[in-house]
Structure 1
Amino acid sequence: MAITNASVSGIASVPLLVAGLAALTSVYLIAIGIYRLYFHPLAKYPGPILNRVSSIPLSYKLLRGRLPFYVKQLHDIYGPVVRLTPTELSFNSEKSWKDIYGSRPGHQNFLKDPVHVGSIQTVPGVVTITMAGDVDHARQRRALSHAFSTKALLEQEYLIKNYVDVFRDKMNEFASSGQVCNIADWFSYTTFDIIGHLSLGEPFGCLTSSDLRFWVPVISESIKAGAIEQASRRLATTGSKLQQLFLKMFAPTELRDQRRKHLQYSREKIMRRIQQTGSNQHRDFLYYLMNQKDKDNLNQDEIIVNGALFIIAGSETTGSFMAGLFNHLLRPKNRDVFDKLVAEIRGAFKSDEEITYEELVKLPWLSAVLDEGLRIFPSAPIGFTRAVPDGGDSVDGNFLPAGTTVSTCMWAATHTEDNFKDPYEFRPERWLDRANATDKLGASNPFSLGPRGCIGRK
Structure 2
Amino acid sequence: MTVSIVSSPYAAALGVCLFAYFVIYPVVVYFRDRNGLRRYPNMHPLSGISAIPFMVLAHGGARSTYLAKLHQKYPVIRTGPNSLSYGDLRAIKDIYGHNTPCTKDGSYVITSGSHYHLADVIDKHDHARKRKLLSSAYAIKNLEGWEHKVADKTVKLMAHLDQCCTAPLAPGETPKPEDLNVDYRKWTNFFTLDAIADIGLSEKLGFLDRGHDRVVGRKTNGTTYECDFRDSLYQNARKQSLLIWPYEWYPFINKISNVIPFYGRMGKFAQDWEGIPVELAHRRLRRYRAGEKLDDFFQALMEDKNGHPNNLEWGEIVAEVSIMMNAGSATTAIAMTNVLFQLIKNPPIMKTLVEEIDAALEDDDEDDESGVIAYDKVKHLPYLRACLDESLRLFPPTPQGLPRETPPDGINVLGDYIPGGVSLSISAFVAHRNESIFPQADKYIPERWLGEEGKTLQPYFLAFSAGARGCIGRNISYLEQTVVLASVLRRYGFALSNPDWQIERLETMNWILGEMPVKVWRRERKGVLSG
**TM-score bucket (shorter structure):** 0.7 to 0.9
- Whole-Å Cα distance in 1 between the matches of residues 327 and 310 of structure 2? 24
Partner of 1:3: none
- Whole-Å Cα distance in 2 between the matches of residues 27 and 16 of structure 1? 16
On the 8 A contact 2:107/2:247 being kept in 1, the answer is no
Over the matched positions of the two proteins, sequence identity in percent amounts to: 26
SS at match of 1:115: helix
Letter in 1 for 2:276: Y
- Whole-Å Cα distance in 2 between the matches of residues 204 and 374 of structure 1? 27
Is 2:97 the partner of 1:97?
no
Partner of 1:207: 208
- Whole-Å Cα distance in 2 between the matches of residues 259 and 24 of structure 1? 30
- How far residue 385 of structure 1 moved from its aligned partner, in angstroms, is 0.5
> Which has more strand, going by share of residues?
2
- How far residue 260 of structure 1 moved from its aligned partner, in angstroms, is 2.9
Partner of 2:81: 86
On the 8 A contact 1:219/1:312 being kept in 2, the answer is no
Deviation track 1:12-50 (CA, whole Å, cap 9, x = no partner) reads 996899499659946983574365257451010012212
Gaps of 5+ in 1: 1-6
Residue 237 of structure 1, aligned match among 238, 241, 248: 248
Give the alignment of 1:163-242 within 5 angstroms.
163-176=153-166, 178=179, 180-210=181-211, 212-213=213-214, 218-229=229-240, 231-237=242-248, 241=252
Partner of 1:449: 466
Is 2:296 the partner of 1:284?
yes
- Whole-Å Cα distance in 1 between the matches of residues 164 and 293 of structure 2? 36
Is 2:328 the partner of 1:311?
no
The answer to which of 346-355 and 300-309 deviates more is: 346-355
- How far residue 414 of structure 1 moved from its aligned partner, in angstroms, is 0.7
Partner of 2:396: 378
Residue 429 of structure 2, aligned match among 411, 417, 423: 411
- Whole-Å Cα distance in 2 between the matches of residues 225 and 118 of structure 1? 14
Residue 326 of structure 1, aligned match among 312, 322, 340: 340
Distance 1:236-1:320 versus aligned 2 partners, 3 A rule: closer
SS at match of 1:228: helix
The answer to which of 383-392 and 85-94 deviates more is: 85-94
- Whole-Å Cα distance in 2 between the matches of residues 442 and 211 of structure 1? 39
- Whole-Å Cα distance in 2 between the matches of residues 238 and 356 of structure 1? 50
Deviation track 1:398-448 (CA, whole Å, cap 9, x = no partner) reads 2200001000111111113132101111001001133379x8542221001
TM-score relative to the length of structure 2: 0.74
Deviation track 1:265-292 (CA, whole Å, cap 9, x = no partner) reads 2222222222225786431111222232
On the 8 A contact 1:63/1:228 being kept in 2, the answer is no
Residue 336 of structure 1, aligned match among 348, 351, 373: 348
Letter in 1 for 2:275: Q
Partner of 1:61: 57
Deviation track 1:306-362 (CA, whole Å, cap 9, x = no partner) reads 11211111211111111111111001xx21111111111111113544943333221
SS at match of 1:89: strand
Partner of 1:72: 68
Is 2:34 the partner of 1:33?
no
On the 8 A contact 1:228/1:250 being kept in 2, the answer is no
- Whole-Å Cα distance in 1 between the matches of residues 180 and 61 of structure 2? 32
Give the alignment of 1:142-161 within 5 angstroms.
142-161=132-151
- Whole-Å Cα distance in 2 between the matches of residues 362 and 51 of structure 1? 47
On the 8 A contact 2:89/2:431 being kept in 1, the answer is yes
Is 2:274 the partner of 1:256?
no
Is 2:313 the partner of 1:299?
yes
Distance 1:142-1:260 versus aligned 2 partners, 3 A rule: farther
Partner of 2:439: 421
Deviation track 1:203-228 (CA, whole Å, cap 9, x = no partner) reads 11111114644689533443442443
Q: How many residues are paired up?
A: 441
On the 8 A contact 1:87/1:404 being kept in 2, the answer is yes
Distance 1:163-1:242 versus aligned 2 partners, 3 A rule: closer
The answer to which of 382-391 and 222-231 deviates more is: 222-231
Letter in 2 for 1:365: Y
Is 2:354 the partner of 1:359?
no
On the 8 A contact 2:390/2:445 being kept in 1, the answer is yes
Partner of 2:418: 400
- Whole-Å Cα distance in 2 between the matches of residues 367 and 305 of structure 1? 32
On the 8 A contact 1:62/1:227 being kept in 2, the answer is no
On the 8 A contact 1:218/1:258 being kept in 2, the answer is no
SS at match of 1:270: helix
Partner of 1:129: 118
Distance 1:128-1:116 versus aligned 2 partners, 3 A rule: same
- Whole-Å Cα distance in 1 between the matches of residues 416 and 465 of structure 2? 21
Letter in 2 for 1:114: G
- Whole-Å Cα distance in 1 between the matches of residues 148 and 385 of structure 2? 21
Deviation track 1:174-213 (CA, whole Å, cap 9, x = no partner) reads 1147462211111111111111111210211111114644
- How far residue 70 of structure 1 moved from its aligned partner, in angstroms, is 2.4
On the 8 A contact 1:192/1:315 being kept in 2, the answer is yes
- Whole-Å Cα distance in 2 between the matches of residues 420 and 127 of structure 1? 36
On the 8 A contact 1:235/1:243 being kept in 2, the answer is no
The answer to which of 401-410 and 281-290 deviates more is: 281-290
- How far residue 99 of structure 1 moved from its aligned partner, in angstroms, is 1.1
Deviation track 1:156-189 (CA, whole Å, cap 9, x = no partner) reads 1011112112212221221147462211111111
- Whole-Å Cα distance in 2 between the matches of residues 316 and 159 of structure 1? 18
Q: Give the CA RMSD over aligned residues.
A: 3.3
Letter in 2 for 1:46: P
- Whole-Å Cα distance in 1 between the matches of residues 208 and 467 of structure 2? 36
